[in-house]
């Protein structure tokens, strides 16, 4: 079969474009992660992740801009660091640090009656990380 080079080029572009688009499953994960973010993180890290949430004023430490995590890591989203940090598995210099250790407190705004742990919590954190990766600048 003889394919015209221009047609071939545009076909490739279409395929590459399709590859970088999130799948329905990823879109769902990002959406779910956003809901979790809004309930558990936005009050300090701001509605868009850029800081200055309403609860951040009295903290003494400004919650960092979460859209710059990749920029501070050579352009790559530091997924494992963020996971460990949010869960509270990273050794912190300041034992009085303002941010909750979510492994200990759980997602208490998402599940006010408690009850989400184990696999549910892992899945929720994975979605949260998808969302955080999506908002990187
Ligand atoms: C009570 C306010 C508060 C809440 C709620 C909160 N954070 Fe934080 N976060 C902070 C503060 C303040 C820091 C700066 C370090 C410290 O004091 O712990 C921080 C640091 C971080 C860091 C480290 C960033 C870096 O560059 O080192 C990440 C990642 C992070 N938060 C993500 C989250 C996520 C995700 C959530 C929601 C699940 C969340 N935080 C909820 C206040 C908060």
Lowest-pLDDT choice from 22-31, 81-90, 117-126: 117-126
The span from the CA of 128 to the CA of 82, in Å, is: 10
Task: List Cα–Cα distances, 129 to 14, 47, 60, 98, in angstroms.
Answer: 28, 16, 26, 20
Asked whether residue 43 is domain-assigned, the answer is yes
Indicate whether residue 55 lines ligand 1 (CB < 6 A). Answer: yes
**110: domain range?**
23-134
pTM of the shown model: 0.85
For the chain, what is the domain count? 1
Per-residue pLDDT, 59: 83
CA dist 32 and 4 (Å) reads 44
Cα 119 to averaged position of ligand 1 atoms, centre (Å): 23
Residue 44: count other Cβ atoms within 10 Å of its Cβ.
22
pLDDT in tens, 58-98: 888 889 999 999 999 999 999 999 999 999 998 877 777 88
Protein residue whose Cα sits closest to atom 11 of ligand 1 = 63
* Residue 2 maps to a domain: no
Residues 6+ apart with CB under 8 A from 16: none
* Residue 52: CATH number of its domain: 1.10.760
Q: Is residue 14 part of a domain?
A: no
> Could you tell me if residue 49 is inside a domain?
yes
Cβ–ligand 1 contact at 52 (below 6 Å)? no
Please give the distance, rounded to the nearest whole angstrom, from the Cα atom of residue 26 to the centre of ligand 1: 24
């Amino acid at each position: 079969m003889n394919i015209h080079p221009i047609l071939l080029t545009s076909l490739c572009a279409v395929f590459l474009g399709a590859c970088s688009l999130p799948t329905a499953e990823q879109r769902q994960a990002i959406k779910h992660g956003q809901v979790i973010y809004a309930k558990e993180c936005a009050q300090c890290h701001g509605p868009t992740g850029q800081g200055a949430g309403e609860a951040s004023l009295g903290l003494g430490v400004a919650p960092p801009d979460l859209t710059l995590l990749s920029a501070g890591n050579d352009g790559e989203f530091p997924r494992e660091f963020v996971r460990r940090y949010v869960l509270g598995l990273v050794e912190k210099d300041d034992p009085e640090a303002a941010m909750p250790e979510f492994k200990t407190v759980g997602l208490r705004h998402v599940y006010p009656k408690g009850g989400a742990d184990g696999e549910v919590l892992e899945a929720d954190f994975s979605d949260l990380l998808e969302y955080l990766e999506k908002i990187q600048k």
